[in-house]
């Protein structure tokens, strides 16, 4: 690994709140640090095109500021609430567009993979994910809100999985 930190942006998409978390891996031994995290909020009073445009612009600004090379995002899972699944899909689409336009590699992980990466349990609660993220990043407090913690968890998940995926690709290639 070079002297440059490896930077990943994690995204937890949603049209009301899109969580983001930017994590750097400072060394080959794995030292992780949070560079930024939070949420991009939109108003339900605004029409959908304006909401997704706001999410897109904010993500583009974060990508430009922190210059990650990769994006980790949660895979879409099927839900009984179709309306909520569609809203997540719309926010996810603009996140993928922002990544593609910035030339970022995009990696998708299931909710269970993300939870497993930060808690060692694929069915962990929101509180357990927040505490796992806090411990892994050495934060003094749990990241709030849980959308931001979920985005940080996605970035951590990728930083833990990617070295293995690269080794497997080299072996299979």
Residues recognised as catalytic: 12, 74, 147
Q: Concatenate the DSSP letters of all residues of 74-121 into one string.
A: EPP---S-HHHHHHHHHHHHHHHHHHHHHT-EEEEE-HHHHHHHHHS-
Query: 124: which residues sit within 8 A by CB, 6+ positions away?
Result: 115, 118, 132
- Cα–Cα distance, 58 to 95 (Å, whole number): 10
Torsion sign across C-alpha atoms 45, 74, 146, 32 = negative
Burial degree of 60 (CB within 10 A; 0-12, 13-18, 19+): middle
- Cα–Cα distance, 116 to 132 (Å, whole number): 10
């Amino acid at each position: 690994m070079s002297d440059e930190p490896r930077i990943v942006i994690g995204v937890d998409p949603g049209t009301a709140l899109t969580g983001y978390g930017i994590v750097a891996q400072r060394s080959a031994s794995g030292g992780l640090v949070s560079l930024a995290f939070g949420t991009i909020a939109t108003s339900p009073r605004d029409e959908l095109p304006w909401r997704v445009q706001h999410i897109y612009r904010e993500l583009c600004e974060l990508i430009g500021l922190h210059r990650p090379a990769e994006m980790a995002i949660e895979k879409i899972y099927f839900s009984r609430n179709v309306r909520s699944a569609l809203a997540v899909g719309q926010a996810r689409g603009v996140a993928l567009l922002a990544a593609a336009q910035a030339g970022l590699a995009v990696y998708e992980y299931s909710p269970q993979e993300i939870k497993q990466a930060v808690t060692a349990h694929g069915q962990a609660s929101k509180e357990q994910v927040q505490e796992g993220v806090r411990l892994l990043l050495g934060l003094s407090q749990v990241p709030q809100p849980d959308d931001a913690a979920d985005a940080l968890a996605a970035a951590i998940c990728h930083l833990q999985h990617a070295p293995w995926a690269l080794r497997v690709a080299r072996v299979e290639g």
